């Protein structure tokens, strides 16, 4: 294959391979994919599952879809989303930028919210046994905290987990989410 026939991603990878190892090249390509396409690269060896959700509408601003659970959706492991509308005239749409696009386009400033039917696949693991390698426990603990920091936190005023107009501070909810994630890791106030 000549350089003229390379895709932009292949050209980026080929250039990077001249200066670094394959692992760093793959990380660069994955970061570029996330930044440019808004999706995560999911490898065959990764355990990642789709998450189901419904769009629950409290107020029908458009007067077309009604209120209640108006659509069913799936958030794919790569971060993209598919939505299938209910009703007499159903349709389906795919969003490359996933949850952010669904909330922006269909959220109607909080009139519609995403309600998750499945739990995230990265739920905190049970506390590690004392014989566990401390470095491995540290990595797992970092993943648990990272997961907790990215969980949707309800607004203390309107209880929405999506963007709302209340301008309320969600810090307490975020702290509660982190503490709940850390609970299995703590024994009598000390890290396990």
pLDDT digits (tens, 9 = 90+) for 98-155: 888 888 888 777 788 889 998 765 443 333 344 444 555 466 666 666 666 677 777 8
Q: What is the rounded CA–CA span in Å between residue 86 and residue 69?
A: 8
Examine the domain organization and report whether 62 and 112 are in the same domain.
yes
Residue 42 within a domain: no
Answer whether residue 122 is part of any domain: no
Q: How far is CA 92 from the centre of its chain?
A: 21
Residue 128 lies in a domain: no
pLDDT of residue 76: 92
Total-model pTM: 0.50
Assess if residue 76 is contained within a domain: yes
Q: Check pLDDT > 50 for residue 63.
A: yes
Q: Which domain, by its residues, includes 75?
A: 51-116
Tell whether 142 is covered by a domain: yes
User: In this structure, which long-range contacts are made by residues 174-179, counting pairs with CB atoms below 8 Å and at least 24 apart in sequence?
Assistant: 174/149, 177/148, 177/149, 177/151, 177/153, 178/145, 178/148, 178/149
Q: What pLDDT does 24 receive?
A: 82
68 and 112 share a domain?
yes
pLDDT tens string 68-88 = 999 999 999 988 999 999 988
State what percent of residues in the chain have pLDDT above 70. Answer: 72
Q: Are residues 143 and 112 in the same domain?
A: no
- On whether the CB atoms of residues 95 and 102 are closer than 8 A, the answer is yes
Q: Which of 116, 144, 171 is the last residue of a domain?
A: 116
In a domain, 56, yes or no: yes
């Amino acid at each position: 294959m000549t350089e003229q026939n390379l895709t932009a991603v292949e050209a980026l990878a080929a250039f990077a391979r001249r200066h670094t190892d394959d692992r760093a090249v793959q990380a660069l390509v994955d970061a570029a994919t996330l930044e440019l396409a808004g999706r995560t690269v999911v490898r065959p060896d990764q355990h990642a599952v789709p998450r189901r959700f419904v769009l629950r509408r409290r107020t029908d601003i458009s007067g077309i879809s009604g209120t209640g659970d108006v659509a069913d959706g799936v958030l794919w492991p790569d971060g993209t989303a598919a939505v299938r509308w209910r009703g007499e005239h159903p349709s389906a749409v795919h969003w490359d930028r996933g949850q952010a696009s669904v909330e922006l386009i269909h959220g109607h400033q909080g009139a519609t919210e995403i309600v998750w039917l499945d739990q995230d696949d990265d739920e905190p693991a049970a506390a590690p046994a004392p014989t566990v390698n401390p470095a491995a426990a540290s990595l797992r603990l970092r993943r648990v905290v990272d997961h907790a920091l990215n969980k949707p936190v309800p607004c203390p005023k309107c209880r929405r987990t999506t963007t709302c107009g209340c301008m309320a501070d969600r810090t307490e909810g975020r702290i509660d989410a982190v503490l709940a994630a850390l609970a299995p890791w703590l024994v009598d106030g000390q890290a396990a």
